[in-house]
Structure 1
Amino acid sequence: MAPPFHEHIRTRTAVRAAHFVVPAAAVLVLLAGLGGLIAPRVAVAVGVGMSALWAAAMLGLPAVTHHDGRGPVPAGVHDRRAVGLLTAAALSAGVWAVLPLVAPSTSLPVTAVLALAGVLGVAGAMVLPGGAATWPVRFRRVFDGVGLGISLGFAAWLVRPVSAAEMVALPPTLVGATAVSIMIVVLLGVRPHDGPAARCGWGVVVTLAALTVATNLVVLGHAGAALVTLGVPAVVGLAVTAAGGAHRTVGQARPSAEPPGETPGAIPSAPWRDVRATEPNPAGYPLLTIPAGLGLLAAVYHWIVVGSFDTTAVALGFAMVGTLVMRELLAVSDIRRYAGRLRTNEAHFRSLVAGATDLTLVLDERLTIDWQSPASARLFGLADAQVLGRNFRDLLHPDDAANAQAVIEAVLSGDHADGPPALINARIRDGNGVWRDTESTVSDQRGVPEVAALVVHVRDVGERRQLERALHMLHCTDQLTGLANHRALMRDLLAYRRRAGQQGSLLVIGLHGLADINKAHGRDVGDTVLIEVGSRIRSLLGAEDVPARLGGDEFAVLTADGAVLAYALATRLVTLLMEPYHLPGVIVELHTSVGLAELSGGSDSDEVMRHADLARSRARQLGRDRVEWYDTDVEIKLHRRMDLEHQLLNAADNRELDLVFQPVVNLRDKTPVGIEALVRWRHPTLGTILPGEMLPIARAVGIAGELDEWVLDAACRRLADWSTGDDGFWLSVNVAPRELLATGFPDRVAAVLARHGLAPERLVVEVAEPWVAEDVPAVVAALAALRKLGIRAALDDFGAGQASLSHLRRLPVDMLKLDRTLMNAPTEPIVGPAVVEVVVSLGRRLGLEIVAKGLETEEEIDRARAAGCLYGQGFALARPAPAERIEAYLDTHRSERSH
């Protein structure tokens, strides 16, 4: 269970109080000795001994754990080696303080204890956290300390030779001075210098220095006030040592989550460690230079003054020289090892750079290339002679140099100091003279003394750019035709509107017949046709025009031309796309509908596309191979068409369909011989809609067959209701080609006639001549099936299609209804009447009844009668009328005939 917070505060308060109480008591004891209240040796023994025991106890205290609200935080972790050695050194200082009181006339035990304290202090300093981390470093620092002590001792000996009586103090002096020197050298390498570990070590130095001088006093027999006075620095040194060690019980940083001691062979973490000790530069300790120089100066002075050296001086001199030599040998060994490590690192660096996928360049502030990595020849084929000494801009493409210069100047001005490295996208000419797409990062290393330059890492991104372009092509190109797709067209449309000031036009092209080609010949043939369509469209466009495939059978063209030129272009496209497509083993044809919209007519690109598509839809409604120009009327008509398509589906159920009848009369006596049923749609809001508008809608929505059946049934019912008194009076109805060719159509017609009790010969089925040309054999078979049932057939609108005369011999028809264009030809040119006469003459030879349609004037009636037409139909003879009026009309003519 975690201790409460007040206990932690109590522990910290007790520790801080101990820092002041025990050293203060020790100093008071020493002051009492100076005042003569206590014997000097007793004061030293009590004061220093008490401080030594207190310091040992403080160093041996366990680490204190406190809580910061997130969990237990250990205040420190024991470094067992350092703590143990320093504790033993403190206890040795206490033993030294008691020895003069126990054995006042013996110098050997005091010197021995001093030596023991020095050895323990040096050993503890060696393993202090932040100090010497390896044994070679520790060994070198021992030599540095020994050399420092011997050099200073040699200089002191030559300057002031000691007497024979003072020779007894030489051993403790050398021992203490050497230990202090070694510790000073070691502590100079501790990082940080003001950390707890350094303070602990410096406390030991102060204590050993005081004990060394005090040992000299004891050995020489001086145990008075001077000895007591030296006890004060000894107590201070022990207090500092204890304070440095006790620092680990005060709030430290939270340790890492990794448990200590899990790494095999690792040195335990010290409570005072702030940074990890690193091995210093082997040439970075000139500690022997100044002491050796002082020794040399002292030797010169002694030679000049005395003229000779005694044995001790010679021994000290040889020891100093030997230490210096050994230190230099160690330094040479370290330098060689360091140089070997540098060579290894350099080899590793060169191998890494040579095998890198980036080219590294080093530039000075004038952007002159001072160095390039060995990878340059492998990656870019650039030799050093081609690059070194040249300006970096000379390698770049002229179009990219300005941007690169701006980026580098920003780097030189420090704009990228705190951010990521600056990036340059530029093309670089390689050794073969080819421009390569590259991406370079520029790093300012002018503040690094080892570099002091700009470092540029160049990477070849050609494959990536090529992949990006390929992905862009896939993203913006139709894969079948190679034209732009819908996404690319909308992007270019937006660019056109911005660049050309909304000048230009958009054409949307719809193909008709592609689905039939796919069904008849397969999708491969259909894809080949689409490819050819794309090629034909591209062949008519200029360099600034954009052809596109919107998907399926829809294409588009974006042009900068105005509406008039764009209309002319659309007309040429219609003409070109109508031409047959000669494919291997097959010839196919397509038809088109083209919608045109001006870019300025829409508020945005989507609206322009919508306008063009509406115009294309309108062109499709009006027929094939047409070009429609968008305006507001087009949209109104298109919406009307869409509404009618939806409403016509329910027109029959809503009783909105109606029939009107137009008589067919004999041109000689103008009596009615038959009647044609015409459908009308009585729309509740739009009024009467004529067949010219309604029948294309019925074919578009797929109800033309149902509409024809309704007309047939309603017309036959009316004919059965009329009592004409003439079984030869016939009824004609119009039938759509798809309904005529439907399976079972003759049987359905026969069933209607039987239901209303009408003879088959009284029904005439009319088929428009322009539709016959699409599939003549199928129409021949369907009409032949009707003729077997006794139902007559009529070829309507004869003369409006192509090669009309060639159909007459093949089609099993009984009646020929001439198109009104033949009857409306002017009389003065011989061509018009001659054609009518030829047609009528041919029809008579084939045994056909001839009906002249569209007669609107008496002149046209006379012309038809003169040409030999037996029957006529038109406004000049009788207008279409409802069933009730037609019934009255028939009654009137029947009455006239009876009179």
Structure 2
Amino acid sequence: MVSNPRTFWLVLVTAVAAFSAAAAAGPVLSLGAVAAGVAAGSLVHAGALIRLALRVHHGRGSFGPCRGAGFLGMGALFTGVGVAAAGAAALTPSIAAPGRVAAVTTLVAAPTFLLGLLLLPGTAPTVRARLRRLLDGAGIGVTLCYSVWVLATAPAASTLAGPLPLTVAVTCCVAVSVAVVTGLRAVRHRPAALGCAGGAALSIVGLGVFTVLLSALDGPGDLFGPASGRICAGLAAAGLALLAGPFLILTGARRADDAPSSPHAADSDGTLAGYPLLIGPALLAVAVSVLHLLTGGRFDRTAIGLGFAAVVAVALREALAARDIRRYARTLATREAHFKTLVAGSTDVTVVLDAELIVRWQSPAAARQFSLSDQDVLGRPFVGLLHPADAGPATGALHAVLAGEQHVLVQARLRDGFGRWRDTESTVSDQRAAPEVAGVVVHVRDVGDRAQLQRSLDEVTWTDEQTGLANRRKFLAAVTEARGTTTAGSVLLVELDRFESVADLHGPTVANAVLIEAARRLRTAVGRDDLPARLGGAGFGVLTGASLVHAFALATRLATALAEPFHLPGHTVHLAADVGVADLFGASDGSSGASGLSGASGFSGPSGLSGVSGLSGAFDLGAEGVLRHADIARRRARQVARGREGGRVECYDRSFEAALVRRTDMEQQLPGIVGRGELDLVYQPVVELAQRRPVGVEALLRWRHPRLGVVPPQEFLPVAEELGLADELAEWALHQACRQLSRWRADGRDLWMSVNASARQLAAAGWLATVATAVDTHCVPAESLIIEVAEASLPDDAGAVEQLAGLRALGVRTAIDHFGTGPTALAHLRRLPVDVLKIDQVLFSEPAGQRAPATPIVDVVVSLARRLGIDVIACGLETESHVDVVRAAGCQLGQGYLLSRPDHAEHVEAFLERHRTRLF
């Protein structure tokens, strides 16, 4: 079986060489070689085609797809057997008329090929389509035969003497025409159909030539006549055609057996399909007839018969085409009636536009739904019917449909017949390719009720029910819109401080009244174009178009207004407001100072508002980002104002965000800090200034975090107090300091240890017990422990005096740290049971730019402390002049970087050892 193209070409070249050699050797050998080669090739390909048909039948369980390949295989089989029989008849003297055998072979094989070709999948799927192919081919073939017969009557009569050769010639011509038409009009598998059609045409042409050549022979002796050379060449050509035809048929049949392909441009059933194939042959026949008549020729019975057959074929084809047209027209009429029924009963308005978006047709529903007559609409641009504000987007959507975009939805207001604007929603589809429509179809729906409902819902969903202000959703939408339509603006975030306690103390009714009054004050204070909103809880927001400078002034007015007492029936509520301000389009890094707000820097009003940070380096951010910046500034304002009456105003600075991130990290990392072993104590010696001899050590707490680094206590202890971890950290520091003091005293070092405590710890009920436990656990003398409390955090009340007295009762000494930086007056020292006064550097350092000595101030403090029996330690000694000043005032103890820096226990031990060695 020759199935590979390379093998086929090799066989074909070999056949050409063999036929040429046979022709050179003689006509007898040439005829034998052609007959043998064609018979072998046809039988091999016939077997392959029949096996292909059987495989398709078994694979699909149906005779339909396999019939085409089966009949094509039978055609190849008839060809091989017939050519072999005709060749044997021509070479055998006892057998006469080899042309009759060849003619019978042609008359049997040609219809078989055509039947297989028409039954191939995808060529002609219906009986009507097959009939059209046959009529088209018959019309073309008979017309061409007629034209040839009329133009060459004498040669035709000599060559085609007798009805059988003429029948063979007409059959071959018609069969070839049908094969060509079938291949060109295949619905699916077009390349495969063309291959099969070409192979069938080659086989039929080869059989025709073979039949004509053998019909011209009266017997084997004619092979040696004067025309033997032409006979040999014709036999070789016919043999090559008969070899190539089955191969092309087999190749096409195999490709037609593949997965189904998409339909070709031809109609699936052949209705109105096509190519004007009959026009050319028909015009040729007419021209030949006219020329024959003009030259005085006469038509014989063969020409008349051929012409009549051609007319009948053409008439039948046109009658069938007319029937198809009538059926198609009825189908169109049915579809049109169905369409009109659907459109007439639909509540949607259907409008058809041309490529210029001009209205060419509208459905009757337009009069019912929008009171629009055809005179009002037809011939006008569709966008001319829309609201001017909606015409631009609608035009863009329509042009997008013209450009090929699918599923376009247009929402616009349309003017009805009474001049009112109606909310509509339209779907647009491009139907210009459909001949029944040939335009852009717009389906218009009235959505006025839905739009009104949506607007009503928006009024509800965009308004805070409790205060009547805009809610967070409306505020965010307004911020987003402002960022897209303006070039300047600010956002203010306001939080009522201590609002949670109002509901706890006075109940939810009073709390709601406070919120309503606060909303009223916001409306009164903001400008007409500003948008106040409630963002949730006790948080409010204001969107203003003012620049940051004017926004800061507005924030100050808001804080002042909200700091006024809320006089309610039976209650008076005092609150404060923390306000954060952020630019609508960016924020600063604080590197360029006040950036136009220096006049407001350090502001102090009735509400205790103060401070604003520098602003520069704007960058883009979204609506949520703007609110986040304002909230960071508000949280910064709350931190700065903590412990003070009134609120504070702050503008966003990038440094605030960095500090907030660091604080958040500390809040996350502080729990479990003791268990992780990240806390540490460093120690700074306190020395006797005359001899520089260490007499005591202060324990300083440090947090050594692997990522945050060394965090000082003034940074993380406030966070620990908010988290409720301060007592745990203080207890750890107290026990660690006592443990270290016990070791040093065990080594013979007569030292005392001071440990810092906060005012909150001092006021705690269990603090005295904690101190007593630490002293007893580590076996240290109570008098060797000093508890230090910073002056700025020392409460001036009876509770503080009682706690300090309790420590003294335990034998533990107490100290006031950083004396001179807080509000404690000298007269209060008389009633505070303290043992040590640690004066701050501000009392003995010379003020910058002044030459007045600080000694008189230190003299007063030291003299008063000596009279009260209080020891004085000068803290912050950094220069020898500091030492001279405090010693001149009578202060004997000192602490500072000049004497020794805070360090770990082993380094402090080395310091103690050096000084003890040097002194003793």
Normalising to structure 1: TM-score of the pair?
0.56
- Corresponding position: 1:236 with 2:253: no
Task: Decide whether aligned partners of structure 1 residues 463 and 208 sit closer, same or farther in structure 2, where only a CA change above 3 A counts.
Answer: farther
CA distance in 1, matches of 2:319, 2:488: 87
Asked if structure 1 preserves the Cα contact closer than 8 Å seen for 2:350 and 2:441, the reply is: yes
Give a deviation string over 1:732-770, Cα, whole Å, max 9, x none. Answer: xxxxxxxxxxxxxxxxxxxxxxxxxxxxxxxxxxxxxxx
Partner SS, residue 428 of structure 1:
strand
What is the rounded CA distance, in whole Å, between the counterparts of 1:132 and 1:499 in structure 2?
A: 65
In the other structure, the counterpart of 2:729 is none
Deviations 1:333-392 (A, max 9, x none): 222333344455656777888899987655445432334567767887755444321113
Output the amino acid matched with 2:320. L
Aligned to 1:85: 74
Deviation at 1:54, TM superposition (A): 1.4
Give 1:539 deviation, angstroms: 5.4
Q: Residues 615, 463 of structure 1: CA spacing in aligned structure 2 closer, same or farther, 3 A cutoff?
A: farther
Amino acid at match of 1:330: L
Report the CA distance shift for 1:274/1:280 in structure 2 as closer, same or farther (over 3 A). Answer: closer
Distance (Å, rounded) in 1 between the aligned partners of 2:123 and 2:488:
78
SS at match of 1:190: helix
Residues 1:547 and 2:532 are matched in the alignment: yes
Q: Over the residues paired in the alignment, what is the CA RMSD in angstroms?
A: 5.8
**2:11 pairs with 1:21:** no
Q: Report sequence identity in percent.
A: 29
Change in Cα spacing, 1:380 to 1:54, as seen in structure 2 (3 Å) is farther
Partner of 2:178: 185
Give the C-alpha shift of residue 247 in structure 1: 4.0
Cα deviations across residues 546-595 of structure 1 (Å, max 9, x unaligned)?
Answer: 323343234344554555565445444455x71326xxxxx665432123
Separation in 1 of the partners of 2:70 and 2:3? 29
What amino acid is the match of 2:40?
Answer: L
Candidates 576, 588, 611, aligned match of 1:593: 576
8 Å Cα contact 2:139-2:278 kept in structure 1: yes
Matches within 5 A, 1:800-879: none
Give the AA of the match of 1:17: L
C-alpha displacement at 1:478, in angstroms? Answer: 4.7
1:502 to partner: Cα distance: 7.0
CA gap of 1:540–1:474, structure 2 versus 1, over 3 A, is same
- AA aligned to 1:28 is A
Query: Which of the residues 579, 592, 598 maps onto 2:567?
Result: 579
Which moves more between the two structures, 208-217 or 466-475? Answer: 466-475
Check the 8 A contact 2:471/2:535 in 1, yes or no.
Answer: yes
1:199 corresponds to which residue?
A: 198
Cα distance change of structure 1 residues 686 and 282 upon mapping to structure 2, 3 Å threshold = same
Shift of the 383–579 alpha-carbon distance from structure 1 to 2, 3 Å rule, reads farther
Q: Does 1:388 align with 2:392?
A: no
Whether 1:111 and 2:103 are equivalent positions in the alignment is yes
* 1:214 counterpart = 2:213: yes
Moved more, 611-620 or 201-210: 611-620
Indicate how the Cα distance of structure 1 residues 340 and 93 shifts in structure 2: closer, same or farther if over 3 A, else same: farther
Question: Are 1:56 and 2:43 an aligned pair?
Answer: yes
Q: Describe the shift of the 1:188–1:112 C-alpha distance in structure 2 as closer, same or farther (beyond 3 A).
A: same
The answer for the alignment partner of 2:496 in structure 1 is 510
Question: Does 2:316 align with 1:326?
Answer: yes
CA deviations 1:498-546 (Å, max 9, x no partner) are: 999877684624165665546875x578557645654564455443233
Q: Which runs of 5+ in 2 are unaligned?
A: 53-64, 185-189, 583-596, 598-611, 619-625, 664-713, 727-757, 769-785, 812-863, 871-920
Q: Which runs of 5+ in 1 are unaligned?
A: 1-7, 66-75, 254-266, 582-586, 658-681, 696-703, 719-880, 888-899
1:116 is displaced (CA, Å) by 1.1
CA contact (8 A) 2:203 2:245 kept: yes
Q: How does 1:286-305 map to 2 (within 5 A)?
A: 286-295=276-285
Does the C-alpha gap of structure 1 residues 115 and 533 become closer, same or farther in structure 2, counting only changes over 3 Å? same
1:599-652 alpha-carbon deviations (Å, 9 max, x no partner): 5645585454444455567778445xx5655599xx99x999958986323125
- Say whether the 8 Å CA contact 1:143–1:327 is kept in structure 2: yes
Q: In structure 1, what is the Cα distance between the partners aligned to 2:338 and 2:12?
A: 53
Change (3 A) 1:147 1:503: closer
CA distance in 2, matches of 1:656, 1:385: 95
Q: For the Cα contact (< 8 Å) 2:50–2:69, is it kept in 1?
A: no
Q: Secondary structure at the match of 2:216?
A: helix
Q: SS where residue 104 of structure 1 aligns?
A: coil
Which amino acid in structure 2 is aligned with residue 552 of structure 1? Answer: G
Residue 142 of structure 1 corresponds to 134
- AA aligned to 1:171 is L
Distance 1:501 1:311 in 2: 98
Structure with bigger gyration radius: 1
Indicate the SS of the match to 1:543.
coil
Q: Which residue of 1 aligns with 2:412?
A: 427
Moved more, 273-282 or 51-60: 273-282
Could you tell me which amino acid in structure 2 is paired with residue 687 of structure 1?
E
Shift of the 374–22 alpha-carbon distance from structure 1 to 2, 3 Å rule, reads: farther
Q: Following the alignment from structure 1 to structure 2, what is the Cα–Cα distance between the partners of residues 321 and 12?
A: 43
- C-alpha spacing 1:241/1:227, structure 2 compared with 1 (3 Å): same
1:823-859 CA-to-partner distances (Å, cap 9, x unmatched) read: xxxxxxxxxxxxxxxxxxxxxxxxxxxxxxxxxxxxx
Going from structure 1 to structure 2, the CA distance change for 1:55 and 1:111 (only over 3 Å counts) comes to closer
Report the AA paired with residue 579 of structure 1: H
Matched, 1:483 2:469: yes
State whether residues 404 and 426 of structure 1, in contact with CA within 8 Å, keep that contact through their aligned partners in structure 2: yes
CA-to-partner distance for each residue in 1:229-274, whole Å, 9 max, x for gaps?
Answer: 431331121122134145479xx99xxxxxxxxxxxxx85499999
Q: Is the 8 A contact 1:595 1:628 kept in 2?
A: yes
Task: Report the secondary structure of 1:650's partner residue.
Answer: helix
Cα distance change, pair 361–155 in 1 and its aligned pair in 2 (3 A): same
CA distance in 1, matches of 2:649, 2:112: 106
**C-alpha spacing 1:474/1:170, structure 2 compared with 1 (3 Å):** farther
Residues 5-16 of structure 1 aligned to structure 2 (within 5 Å):
14-16=7-9
Q: Do the aligned residues in 2 keep the contact of 1:478 with 1:485 (CA within 8 Å)?
A: yes
Say if 1:56 and 1:242, in contact at 8 Å, map to a contact too.
no
Residue of 122, 125, 133 corresponding to 1:133: 125
Please list, as runs of the form range in 1=range in 2, the aligned pairs for 1:309-708 lying within 5 A after superposition.
315-343=305-333, 362-364=352-354, 366-372=356-362, 384-402=374-392, 420=405, 427-431=412-416, 433-436=420-423, 438=425, 478=464, 480-485=466-471, 506=492, 508-510=494-496, 517=503, 530=515, 533-534=518-519, 537-538=522-523, 541-557=526-542, 560=546, 563=552, 566-575=555-564, 578-580=566-568, 590-596=573-579, 601=612, 603=615, 605=626, 606-613=628-635, 615=637, 621-623=643-645, 626=646, 628=648, 647-652=758-763, 684=788, 686-687=790-791, 689=793, 691=795
Q: Which residue of structure 1 lines up, in the alignment, with residue 114 of structure 2?
A: 122
Q: If the length of structure 2 is used for normalisation, what is the TM-score?
A: 0.55
Give the number of aligned pairs.
Answer: 634
8 A contact 1:517–1:588 mirrored in 2: no
The equivalent of 1:173 in structure 2 is: 166
Give the distance between the partners of 1:283 and 1:507, measured in 2 at CA.
Answer: 74
Contact 1:114–1:176 under 8 Å retained in 2: no
C-alpha distance in 1, partners of 2:79/2:337?
50
3-state secondary structure, aligned to 2:167: helix
Provide the rounded CA distance (Å) in 2 between the counterparts of 1:14 and 1:183: 27
Alpha-carbon distance in 2 for matches of 1:442, 1:588: 67
- Structure 1 distance, partners of 2:144, 2:2, is 48
